[in-house]
Amino acid sequence: MLGKAVQKPEDRFFLVLLAGVSIALALIILPFFGAILWALVAALLFGPLNDQLIRMTGGRRNAAASLTLLVIVLLGVVPAILLGMALLREAAGIYERIQSGGINVRQIVAHFQGLLPSWAVGLMERMGLSDVNLVRERMAGTIAGGFQTFAAKAIDLSQSAFGFLIALGVMLYLSFFLLRDGEEMVERIEQAIPLRPELCRAFFAKIGAVIRATIKGSFVVAIVQGMIGGITFWALGIGGALLWGIAMGFFSLLPAIGTGLIWVPVALYLFITGAVWKGMALVLCGLFVIGLVDNLLRPVLVGRDTQMPDYVVFISTLGGLELFGFNGIVVGPVIAALFMAVWDIFTRSQQQTT
């Protein structure tokens, strides 16, 4: 029936017009993709709280949405801004010390190289790295450049504060209307999608469950691992504990391998420099405390609610980060869930027709 309808010239023109204006709107809102995505995430995460406030306020949706938005700001936005400011201060301090010579990376590399055992020096010679001075200069230049680039980019974030405030304002503005009118929006979308109502509801329920589970799992694990890592570094007397803790929290968003990218090299450095007990303590904490948090919490918070295998969550998260940056933490698993949900709907429809 639809095929016959679109044979009319006016119907074909309307479909082209519909596609054109949809693409145009997508291009217009593309710069705010991240703000829109996190507004949807906030509305989904705090939707149950908003529903309770609606009942408590006697059905006053504006008041309930305003109170929920205040909770989002207090629990999410304010701590993130304070943590980002602390990270900027620490990064700026490192950058200034490198620029002023307070941190001499070449001396650090030379000292580290002098502590290498004879077998390591022999291995370097067999690998064609016998020119120790050249290797040292390259290593020092690479490390110094990496520190300077990271610190400089962190400082540049403060210069784009206006853009950040605009994106934050868009996110909070959309969050308010999604909390207030979200149910009506979902109903309209369900009416527009050519699926049976029960399949459409299951489809949206799957998307919501994946987003909630991904955010809860990823960020709870990141916060816990970052706190444990930072406290461990502080207890062991390792400098920059706050910076290392934030770095471990960020890298923990990479399932299975995340925090090891931070604590493993530091533990190796401690062993080589003779701080064996500190190195052992860091390894034990990394394997049996920090790593255990990931192994226990992530499957419970992510895999159980999404009903996706751990390897699918892992691969889709890595792929999402590669393609979409930080937003890929949500986009990757959601696309994987959409893939599984669509195939599940297709399988059901085929079984019902046979």
| pLDDT tens per residue, range 68-120 | 999 999 988 888 788 777 777 776 666 666 666 655 555 655 665 566 666 66
- Measuring CA to CA, which residue among 198, 193, 199 is closest to residue 344? 199
Asked if 299 and 259 sit in the same domain, the reply is yes
- 36 falls within a domain: yes
130 pLDDT band, cuts 50/70/90, is: very low
pLDDT for 341 equals 73
Lowest mean pLDDT among 98-107, 150-159, 241-250, 306-315: 150-159
- Using left for φ > 0, alpha for ψ between -120 and 50, and beta otherwise, residue 256 falls in left
Asked if 198 and 345 sit in the same domain, the reply is yes
pLDDT for 332 equals 83
pLDDT for 144 equals 53
- In the chain, the percentage of residues whose pLDDT exceeds 90 is 6
- 14 falls within a domain: no
Of 192, 210, 241, the residue at which a domain comes to its end is 192
176 pLDDT band, cuts 50/70/90, is: very high
pLDDT for 251 equals 78
Asked if 129 and 260 sit in the same domain, the reply is no
Counted domains in the chain: 2
- Measuring CA to CA, which residue among 72, 36, 79, 331 is closest to residue 167? 36
Say how many Å lie between the first and final Cα of the chain, rounded.
Answer: 21
- 6 falls within a domain: no
Is the predicted pLDDT of residue 153 greater than 60, yes or no?
no
Whether the model pTM is above 0.75: no
pLDDT for 71 equals 92
Between residues 232 and 2, the one the model is more confident about: 232
Is the predicted pLDDT of residue 322 greater than 50, yes or no?
yes
237 pLDDT band, cuts 50/70/90, is: confident
Asked if 113 and 262 sit in the same domain, the reply is no
- 253 falls within a domain: yes
pLDDT for 94 equals 64
- 18 falls within a domain: no
Is the predicted pLDDT of residue 159 greater than 50, yes or no?
no
H-only helix segments in the chain: 2-5, 9-29, 33-45, 47-56, 61-72, 78-100, 105-114, 118-126, 132-159, 161-192, 197-235, 241-251, 260-272, 276-285, 291-298, 304-306, 310-324, 328-353
Q: How far apart are CA 346 and CA 341, in angstroms?
A: 9
- 3 falls within a domain: no
Is the predicted pLDDT of residue 189 greater than 50, yes or no?
yes
Of 170, 192, 214, the residue at which a domain comes to its end is 192
Asked if 199 and 343 sit in the same domain, the reply is yes
199 pLDDT band, cuts 50/70/90, is: confident
- 286 falls within a domain: yes
**Two tokens, residue 342:** 């669509």
Between residues 82 and 136, the one the model is more confident about: 82
- 113 falls within a domain: yes
Asked if 352 and 258 sit in the same domain, the reply is yes
Mean pLDDT of 136-153: 51
The model's pLDDT over 287-317, given as tens digits with 9 standing for 90+, comes to 888 877 777 776 666 655 556 676 777 788 7
Residue 333 structural domain: 193-354
Of 137, 167, 192, the residue at which a domain comes to its end is 192
Asked if 59 and 183 sit in the same domain, the reply is yes
Asked if 181 and 299 sit in the same domain, the reply is no
Asked if 54 and 174 sit in the same domain, the reply is yes
Mean pLDDT of 33-40: 87
Asked if 225 and 110 sit in the same domain, the reply is no
Asked if 113 and 87 sit in the same domain, the reply is yes
Between residues 229 and 293, the one the model is more confident about: 229
Asked if 77 and 126 sit in the same domain, the reply is yes
198 pLDDT band, cuts 50/70/90, is: confident
pLDDT for 338 equals 78
